[in-house]
Every structure is written in C-alpha cells, then in structure tokens.
C-alpha cells in the first residue's frame, strides 16, 4: 500500500484552497456566517481537526455544495488513512465466499449470488 499515486489531502486543506481562498473568505468570516467556532475552522483548515457532520452540513449550505459533499471528503480521507496505516493487514483478509454465505443462511450452495445478499 506504499505505492500511493495521490497523496492524502485533508478535507480542511480542500476547504481552504478550493473555497475560502478563491472567494476571499477568512476563517473569522466563515465562523461568523456559519456559527462554527473560529477555533474549529482554524484547526480544520490546518488539517488538525476533521469535519464533523454538523460542520459539514453548515459548510455545504454556506457554499451551495451538495449536503454530503464535505462529509464524503472527510470519509474518503479517513478511509485512505486507514488503508495507508493498515493496508498490509487488510490485504491478508480473504472475502467470505458465496458458498459459505449460503451455508450461513441455511440455503443450498449456489442458490445465493453476491447481489442477493
């Protein structure tokens, strides 16, 4: 998993570089307009704090983004971090087979396809 093609980018950096800087919005202004604490905004844009669902909804409303936009950025960042840290361990896990799924559900082998589970 060390062959990363794209470096991880904290969603706060994206917030700063893609929204705040181009629009000339300061952390103070964003805080005042959204009700998110200035400290939280400052920590988020420095990559020191994640974007909570509460903050994500407020940012999405403020910037006119889809409601889940900032939450998805945070989720993807979190998943990428875990993959980077635990990728080799996760790679050792073998998928649960269709045959085993059928046995667990008490059905004959071959009756369940992955889409049916």
CA distance 18 to 20: 6
- The string over 23-33, giving b where at least 16 C-beta atoms fall within 10 Å of a residue's C-beta and e elsewhere, is eebebeebbee
Nearest by Cα to 50 from 23, 67, 73, 68: 73
pTM for this structure?
0.74
CA distance 79 to 69: 15
Kindly report, residue by residue over 24-50, the tens digit of the pLDDT: 999 999 999 999 999 999 999 999 999
Q: What is the pLDDT of residue 2?
A: 45
Domains of the chain: 11-87 (1.10.260.40)
Q: How much is the CA Rg of the chain, to the nearest whole Å?
A: 20
Kindly report, residue by residue over 54-66, the tens digit of the pLDDT: 999 999 999 999 9
Angle at 39 between CA 72 and CA 13, to 5 degrees: 40
Do 38 and 46 form a contact (C-beta atoms < 8 A)? no
């Amino acid at each position: 998993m060390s062959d990363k093609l794209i470096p991880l980018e904290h969603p706060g950096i994206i917030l700063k570089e893609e929204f705040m800087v181009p629009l000339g919005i300061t952390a103070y202004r964003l805080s005042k307009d959204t009700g998110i604490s200035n400290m939280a905004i400052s920590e988020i844009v420095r990559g020191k704090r994640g974007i909570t669902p509460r903050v994500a909804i407020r940012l999405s409303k403020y910037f006119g983004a889809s409601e889940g936009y900032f939450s998805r950025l945070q989720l993807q960042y979190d998943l990428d971090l875990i993959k980077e840290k635990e990728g080799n361990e996760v790679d050792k896990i073998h998928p649960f087979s269709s045959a085993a799924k059928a046995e667990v559900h008490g059905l004959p082998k071959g009756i369940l396809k992955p889409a049916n589970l």
